[in-house]
Structure 1
Amino acid sequence: MAIRQKTHMTIKLSGQGASHSRADIAVDGLDVVIDEPAVRGGTGMGPSPTATAYSALIGCTNVIGNKCAASLGVAIGHLSFEMEVDFDRRGVLLMEEVDVPFTAIRLAVTADGPCSDGELQRVALETEKFCPISKLYEKAGTDLTVTWSKG
């Protein structure tokens, strides 16, 4: 008998501010550290909050991209990623409120599998429809460009 997946759920996390810059977070049975680099007064024991946010786009694109490829029967192989983020830091510097702190993200996805370019573009379109992190950025007003190519 197949397990029926829940369509809606509440996810619970807990965290502790270990210092002015470091947060220790428990999520999905893992202990995660989010911290600032030493040059900004942190200990550098984990990525910064903002780096954590934009890094999530790579992780999500990888997971959803592979799910979509499997669903479509497309052999994409392994994915590699290069990303650039345009970050308006006036908000984190307390200079002024910024509505869209990540003004643009350019993500290049490269697949090393035997699929055709047309098949890869089908995977890209499906991934765009289902990746929650890319939707989050798009709805927030970030100019998000994701390009898929064969390597």
Structure 2
Amino acid sequence: MAIRQKTVMTIKLAGRGTSHSRSEAHVRDLVQVVDEPIERGGTNEGLAPTETAFSALIGCTNVIGHKCAAKLGVDIGDLDFAMEVDFDRRGVLLMEEVEVPFKAIRLSVTSKGSATAEELQRVAEETAKYCPIAKLYENSGTELTVTWESG
């Protein structure tokens, strides 16, 4: 009998703030520390909340990219990422509410595999369809540009 995967599920997390800048998110048997850098009053024990959100896009692009490549039979090998984010900080500085704080994200993905430019383009198109973190940013109004190239 085949196992049927759930299409909708509830994911549960717990967390606690251990100082004015440091928090812990508990997921499964893991703890993710989120903290501010020392120059912003933190202890630099983890990524800042915004950096955590940005790194989630890299992680999601990696996972979904590899799933799509496997489904398409394309060798993308290991991936390298470079990202730039245009961040309107007026909100976190408590100057005024900002509806779209991350104005633009430019993510460059470099494939170390043997995929051709055409194959990489197909993987990129499929990844854009299915990466939930990319969808989150795009649907919030962030101008998201993801480019794939061979390295």
Q: Answer whether TM exceeds 0.5 for this pair.
A: yes
Query: Share of identical aligned residues, percent?
Result: 70
Cα distance in 1 for partners of 2:105, 2:16 equals: 30
Which residue of structure 1 aligns with residue 80 of structure 2?
80
Which residue of structure 2 aligns with residue 150 of structure 1?
150
Q: In structure 2, the residue corresponding to 1:93 is in which secondary structure?
A: coil
Q: In structure 1, the residue corresponding to 2:93 is in which secondary structure?
A: coil
Which residue of structure 2 aligns with residue 116 of structure 1?
116
Cα distance in 2 for partners of 1:56, 1:106 equals: 14
Residue 79 of structure 2 aligns to which amino acid in structure 1? L
Which residue of structure 2 aligns with residue 97 of structure 1?
97
Runs in 1 of length 4+ with deviation above 3 angstroms?
Answer: none
Matches within 5 A, 1:2-151: 2-151=2-151
Cα distance in 2 for partners of 1:14, 1:110 equals: 35
Unpaired segments of 5 or more residues in structure 1? none
Aligned CA RMSD, in angstroms, stands at 0.8
Cα distance in 1 for partners of 2:10, 2:147 equals: 32
Cα distance in 2 for partners of 1:25, 1:137 equals: 21
Shift of 1:28: 2.7
Q: How many residues align?
A: 151
Unpaired segments of 5 or more residues in structure 2? none
Cα distance per residue 1:34-70 (max 9 Å; x no partner)? 0001111110000000110111100000000000000
